[in-house]
Amino acid sequence: PTGSLLYPYGPHQGDETNPKLDDGTSEEIALSVPFTFYGKSYQTAFVNNNGVISFDEPVRQYTPDPFPLADGRPFVAPYWADVDNVLGGDIFYRQTTNPALLAGISQDISQYFPESPFTATWALVATWDHVAYYGSTSQKGNTFQAVLTTDSKMFYIMLNYWDIQWTTGAASDGDAETGLGGTPAHVVFQAGFNSGDDTNFYNIPGSQTNAIINITTTSNVKVPGRWVFRVDDFQVIGVDPPQPNNDCWL
């Protein structure tokens, strides 16, 4: 499935494809442009099958922990849950400087943050395409995307939720037929500052509750299914509380 919400993805776009492996991860991605995430610059990233993009090291955990994680690993979890791409679906990613794609990203972000004109020079696009859950006995799949982008001064992460049909894998006490219940998916940023500090992470509302299945209808930029954050400086995230999207708030 594709729509205007998702930027183009797949092998025909030049994407790499993650191995078919439960709790698997991409190879280490050497970022052609260092990415600043909450005050720290990172040169490498991993696109993890379980719905997490991490910096410096992979995250193989499948049941999302309560936050903040004690070890302070920095990452963004577009939809952290127990994906099993052996049972269905693919995880794609690419770094890109494609002018048409960057123009579209720039236009979107400039519309959401008009006070900070933005012209993207690089993006990392990661897409989870109709991915199944661990222990699934159904055909359910989740399709969502994360975009990291920068103009080398400002750094943004965009999360696009196209189709969310399940919240929980069987090892997280989810139901094998429905993919619901148990410990639902987590949508979160962890900055990796000192771990005892509860200001070093941000949860999208509804995270780790059954309501997260409605994330395709919610937004902080008035585009259902899309969440966008400036992430170079952690203070920015708390300046404006996310606004309800036409009564579709979790």
Confidence of residue 105 (pLDDT cuts 50, 70, 90): very high
Q: In the prediction, which pLDDT does 64 show?
A: 55
CB atoms within 10 A of CB 248: 13
DSSP 77-131: EEEES-B-TTTS-EEEEEEE--HHHHHHHHHHHHHH-TTS-----EEEEEEEEEE
**pTM assigned to the model:** 0.87
Query: Would you say residue 237 has pLDDT above 50?
Result: no
Lowest mean pLDDT across 112-121, 189-198, 208-217: 189-198
Closest by CA position to 167, among listed 63, 32, 55: 63
CA–CA dist 102, 238 (Å, integer):
27
**Confidence band of 71 (pLDDT split at 50, 70, 90):** low
Q: Using one digit for the tens of pLDDT, what is the confidence trace for 85-103?
A: 888 899 999 999 999 999 9
For residue 215, which phi and psi values (nearest 5 degrees)?
-65, -20
Which neighbouring-strand residues pair with 94? Answer: 125
Q: How does residue 7 score in pLDDT terms, banded at 50, 70 and 90?
A: very high
Question: Position of tokens 């922990």?
Answer: 65
Question: Which pLDDT tens digit goes with each residue over 158-204?
Answer: 999 999 998 887 878 888 888 888 788 878 777 654 334 455 667 78
